[in-house]
Structure 1
Amino acid sequence: MSRHVLVLTHPTRPAAQRSAEQVATELRRHGMTPVTEDEIAATEIELVIVLGGDGTILRAAELIRGRDAPLIGVNLGHVGFLAESEVDRISHVVSRAAARDYAVEERMTLDVTVTRPDAPPVRSWAINDVSVEKAERERMVEVAIGIDDRGLSTFGCDGVVMSTPTGSTAYAFSAGGPVVWPDVEAMLLVPISAHTLFARPLVVGPDSRMSVEILSRSYTSAVVWCDGRRRIEAPPGARIDVVRGEERVRLARFNLAPFTDRLVGKFNLPVAGWRGEHDNP
């Protein structure tokens, strides 16, 4: 029985296309069948090899949502926090995949419901984050935030980011949120440029509900972005509810080193002078 592997790459980078051809050649050499994006609907996929940055990995997760196939990211971008390997190790990636020599790590997702006046609710999901952003650059959006259906604060701001631990190194990090280790079951709420004395990042439990209401007095509408890929309009009077997602994302891992090492490597953090029991690789 043939083993099918979806090969997904950045659509506009010539280097990515060349790398995809190399992956396809290596897969055939190992007796596996490469599958393109156009062929996945009628094919049972064992694994997904993604060539690109984190954005391409997010797109791959969207394409295979509802399937059990894990993702292996090969970084062609800049930081590539979700990627497992670099582009110069394609042969190694395919040989490990062929031998099924990898562990599968499951990551939390978010489910979001946007309830709007005089319109049906809109539902979506995210791996990294759900961001609520002002629709007009020159105005603040007025919001009320709540946790577990209890009001917490109201303020004007540029937006609010609600994130998984996976997304804590993405938009939420840029907005001043903490880095949360991916094995921590928690969710983050991080205000963006809030005009208030209390606008600290929040870390809440995995069973909590994070809510953002666009106040009727707001001078502008908001836009809800799910992983920066799926857009939902949120006019004044809308409410955005975010909870832990019912479906998790599966990532294939070759390197089981602690997340600390990944953090140091991706951000090029200085560790000279560290005298702990274990050295960073």
Structure 2
Amino acid sequence: MTFFQTAHDSFTRKILVFAHTGRDDARRAARLACTQLYGAGLSPVMERSDLESLLEGWQEPVPVEVMRESVALNEVELGVVLGGDGSILRAAEMIRHTEIPLVGVNLGHVGFLAESEESDLEETVSRIVQSDYEVEERMALDVQVWHGRKKIGATWALNEASVEKGNRAKMIEVAIDVDARPISTFGCDGVVMATPTGSTAYSFSGGGPIVWPEVEAMLIVPLAAHALFSRPLVTAPSSTIAVEISAEYGQNAVLWCDGRRNQEIPAGSRIEVSKSSKPVRLARIHPVPFAERLVAKFELPTEGWRGPIRRTDTTALPQITKDINE
């Protein structure tokens, strides 16, 4: 059975629904989201391949428009992503050249990029219907690959760009620099260059610090480095950071961006990373402090925490000051 909506009202609010359609829970969530959006007078939109997968076993389908067939990307107000952080990264890649914000509903494990959990799906859709959400911008990275004087690659990343050894049995020899000034050379398994958003992902697994999203900075995290000085570094957002692959040993490397896009890097190449002029836009339904999100996602123990002292009685302060002065 097919049930595609082809005719559409150009004034109807259009919401793009992304789902990991290989998972039963994601398909169920997508059907519910589409049904709720359509029932509220909004037009759900999906990629044709995702929609075809969704229609299998859908007992009471609602009309869904098809991306790039009946709807152009510039007509979409918002993207709803049903899945884990990987699904959000996939969606961010698809709408990279647009201004569409994304709201994630976590169906995965940690899900730092997601705004809501599966149990909050109906409330999330309801907030979207009411336009009750805020949009925040997350810093992204521009990545360029040079071999000699020739640019052999250009891409971007929301979380991180990682340069990794191409041969599992051998390290790569690298030199890192910041703003065209050398910092150190060493052998390693790789180097991660991350945003604050990516500080809770690959960078964190490699021993890097967690950085609050409001802080604009870039991280350099060596992986299994054979060096005395191989600590993670935090640079200014105005900096350009680079990793050079030594040509002396002939070891090729692999560049990965957000764990999704990869490129083979020949020995002697240079990978330059800088802040992108185009951020990724995330919609927030439940704006909570990052510290609260951090504790919830990592299930951190907080027993014994007492909180700030509430200063209600200040009558003794002048006497204390007098005693100190005497």
Structure 1 position 233 matched with structure 2 position 264: yes
Report the secondary structure of 1:223's partner residue.
strand
Of the candidates 303, 306, 310, which is equivalent to residue 275 of structure 1?
306
Aligned to 2:51: none
Report the secondary structure of 2:238's partner residue.
coil
Deviation of 1:11 after TM superposition, in Å, equals 3.2
Of the candidates 26, 32, 40, which is equivalent to residue 67 of structure 2?
40
Structure 1 position 141 matched with structure 2 position 183: no
Larger radius of gyration: 2
Contact 1:145 1:212 in 2 (8 A): yes
How far apart, in 2, do the equivalents of 1:40 and 1:262 lie? 33
Report the secondary structure of 1:180's partner residue.
coil
How far apart, in 1, do the equivalents of 2:296 and 2:249 lie? 42
Structure 1 position 198 matched with structure 2 position 208: no
> Cα gap change, 1:118/1:11 in structure 2, threshold over 3 Å: closer, same or farther?
farther
Contact 1:139 1:219 in 2 (8 A): no
Contact 2:144 2:151 in 1 (8 A): no
Deviation of 1:217 after TM superposition, in Å, equals 1.6
Aligned to 2:29: 19
Deviation of 1:116 after TM superposition, in Å, equals 2.1
Q: Unaligned regions of 5+ residues in structure 2, if any?
A: 1-10, 49-65, 310-326
How far apart, in 1, do the equivalents of 2:41 and 2:99 lie? 21
Deviation of 1:219 after TM superposition, in Å, equals 4.6
- What per-residue deviation string (whole Å, max 9, x for no partner) do you get for residues 103-155 of structure 1? 11100000000112486431000000000000011100000000001111100
| Count, aligned residues | 278
Contact 1:112 1:241 in 2 (8 A): yes
Aligned to 2:296: 265
Deviation of 1:14 after TM superposition, in Å, equals 1.7
Aligned to 1:81: 112
- What per-residue deviation string (whole Å, max 9, x for no partner) do you get for residues 172-193 of structure 1? 0000000000000100000000
Contact 1:142 1:219 in 2 (8 A): no
Aligned to 1:176: 207
- What per-residue deviation string (whole Å, max 9, x for no partner) do you get for residues 12-41 of structure 1? 112211111111000001110110124333
- What per-residue deviation string (whole Å, max 9, x for no partner) do you get for residues 194-227 of structure 1? 0000001000000000000001123521000010
Task: Using structure 1 for the length normalisation, give the TM-score.
Answer: 0.96
Identity %: 55
Letter in 2 for 1:51: L
How far apart, in 2, do the equivalents of 1:124 and 1:18 lie? 34
Q: Unaligned regions of 5+ residues in structure 1, if any?
A: none
Aligned to 1:215: 246
Report the secondary structure of 2:230's partner residue.
coil
Deviation of 1:91 after TM superposition, in Å, equals 1.1
Report the secondary structure of 2:203's partner residue.
helix
183-192 or 212-221, which moves further after superposition?
212-221
Aligned to 1:92: 123
- What per-residue deviation string (whole Å, max 9, x for no partner) do you get for residues 230-264 of structure 1? 11111111000000011101111112221000000
Letter in 1 for 2:26: A
Task: Using structure 2 for the length normalisation, give the TM-score.
Answer: 0.83
Aligned to 1:10: 20
> Cα gap change, 1:254/1:277 in structure 2, threshold over 3 Å: closer, same or farther?
farther
Report the secondary structure of 1:195's partner residue.
coil
Deviation of 1:89 after TM superposition, in Å, equals 1.6
How far apart, in 1, do the equivalents of 2:189 and 2:241 lie? 18
Report the secondary structure of 2:123's partner residue.
helix
Contact 1:28 1:34 in 2 (8 A): yes
Aligned to 1:29: 39
How far apart, in 2, do the equivalents of 1:92 and 1:262 lie? 18
Report the secondary structure of 2:90's partner residue.
helix
Deviation of 1:277 after TM superposition, in Å, equals 3.0
Structure 1 position 65 matched with structure 2 position 75: no
Contact 1:140 1:219 in 2 (8 A): no
Structure with greater contact order relative to length (CA < 8 Å, sep ≥ 6): 1
RMSD (CA atoms): 1.3
